[in-house]
Chain A
Amino acid sequence: EDQVTQSPEALRLQEGESSSLNCSYTVSGLRGLFWYRQDPGKGPEFLFTLYSAGEEKEKERLKATLTKKESFLHITAPKPEDSATYLCAVPAGNQFYFGTGTSLTVIP
Chain B
Amino acid sequence: ETGVTQSPTHLIKTRGQQVTLRCSSQSGHNTVSWYQQALGQGPQFIFQYYREEENGRGNFPPRFSGLQFPNYSSELNVNALELDDSALYLCASSFSPLGDSPLHFGNGTRLTVT
A59 CB to nearest B CB, Å: 13
| Residue A54 is within 8 A (CB to CB) of chain B in the complex | no
Residues of A within 8 A of B58 (CB): 95
Contact A96 B108 (CB under 8 A): no
Q: If the complex has contacts A96-B45, A96-B99, are A45 and B40 also in contact, measured as CB distance less than 8 A?
A: no
| Residue B42 is within 8 A (CB to CB) of chain A in the complex | yes
Residues of A within 8 A of B103 (CB): 34, 44, 46, 89, 96
CB proximity to B under 8 Å, residues A38-89: 41-46, 49, 87, 89
CB proximity to B under 8 Å, residues A17-44: 31-32, 34, 36, 41-44
Sample 18 A-B pairs with CB under 8 A, ordered by A number.
A31-B99, A31-B100, A36-B105, A41-B107, A43-B105, A44-B43, A44-B103, A44-B105, A46-B104, A92-B99, A94-B56, A94-B99, A95-B45, A95-B48, A95-B58, A97-B45, A98-B44, A99-B42
- 5 new A-B contacts, CB < 8 A, other than A94-B56, A95-B56, A98-B44, are A36-B105, A43-B105, A89-B103, A91-B99, A94-B99
Binding site for A on B (CB under 8 A): 4, 33, 35, 40-45, 48, 50, 55-56, 58, 90, 92, 97-100, 102-108, 110
Binding site for B on A (CB under 8 A): 4, 31-32, 34, 36, 41-46, 49, 87, 89, 91-101
